[in-house]
Amino acid sequence: QIQLVQSGPELKKPGETVKISCKASGYTFTNYGMNWVKQAPGKGLKWMGWINTYTGEPTYADDFKGRFAFSLETSASTAYLQINNLKNEDTATYFCARDTTVVGGYMDYWGQGTSVTVSS
Amino acid sequence: ETTVTQSPASLSVATGEKVTIRCITSTDIDDDMNWYQQKPGEPPKLLISEGNTLRPGVPSRFSSSGYGTDFVFTIENTLSEDVADYYCLQSDNMPLTFGGGTKLEIK
């Protein structure tokens, strides 16, 4: 069955870096893109962008350009989200979500979410 | 960027009643609207995808309609297990944009 398993919760200080992993199984990793979605505490869902798992090309929503980076380890069917120079407002749960195509569509399967807390 | 306005923000219904949630988009998105359910502490679950297509395994009491800029999500005969947040997502163009969410409670 299709599964996306994310890494565990993180507690970081402002200015630090965090890297979240999302390991996929049950399908051919490079046939479907991977999206990243942010959910701040008590808030709604916000699309951060996605990465073409075939070419490795990332696309970022405007609010997530600069400190955010999507990457892949294709041999391990794993996608990564790295956030640099963490700020308090980065405190949120981050979800990876499989795209329905390799060129960008909507999300069908989701990871369980990774909680990131940024606090001094 | 396509803005998605979702209403209401919350609603409370008795079991067996009908629930209606609306999403209006700022641009014409054809039928590229999707609907998700998120229960507390869980990731979102895709219920209905583009073209008002009910996903496999999703109960038929969930449905949607709409085309262009005006979309409606419906739950017939609401059950207590339907307590959740519901979100619409437009997938016609990037950036993908979600509605603000609707919190469904049972009276």
Residues B77/B20, Cβ–Cβ less than 8 Å: no
Span B29-62, pLDDT tens digits: 999 999 999 999 999 999 999 999 999 999 999 9
Alpha carbon distance, N-terminus to C-terminus of chain A: 40
Q: pLDDT value at position A102?
A: 73
Q: Does B91 touch chain A (CB under 8 A)?
A: yes
Q: Residue A61: which of B49, B95, B99 has the nearest Cβ? A: B95
- Residues of B within 8 A of A45 (CB-CB) are 36, 38, 44, 87, 89, 98, 101
Q: What is the pLDDT of residue B103?
A: 98
How far is the alpha carbon of B55 from chain A, nearest alpha carbon, in Å?
9
Cα separation, A77 vs A52, in Å, equals 13
A-chain residues within 8 Å CB-CB of B52?
Answer: none
Percent of chain B with pLDDT over 90: 100
Residue count (chain B): 107
Q: What backbone phi and psi angles, to 5 degrees, belong to A53?
A: -75, -10
| Percentage with pLDDT > 70 across chain B | 100
Q: Is the pLDDT at A13 greater than 90, yes or no?
A: yes
Nearest CB among A106, A112, A113 relative to B89 is that of A106
Asked if the Cβ–Cβ distance from A108 to B49 is below 8 Å, we say yes
Nearest in space to A90 (alpha carbons), one of A16, A8, A34: A16
Structure-token pair, residue B20: 């209606």
Spatial distance between the Cα atoms of B54 and B35, rounded to a whole number of angstroms: 10
pLDDT tens by residue, A70-110: 999 999 999 999 999 999 999 999 999 999 987 778 999 99
| CB-nearest partner of B98 from A44, A62, A104 | A44
Report the C-alpha gap between A112 and B42 in whole angstroms: 7
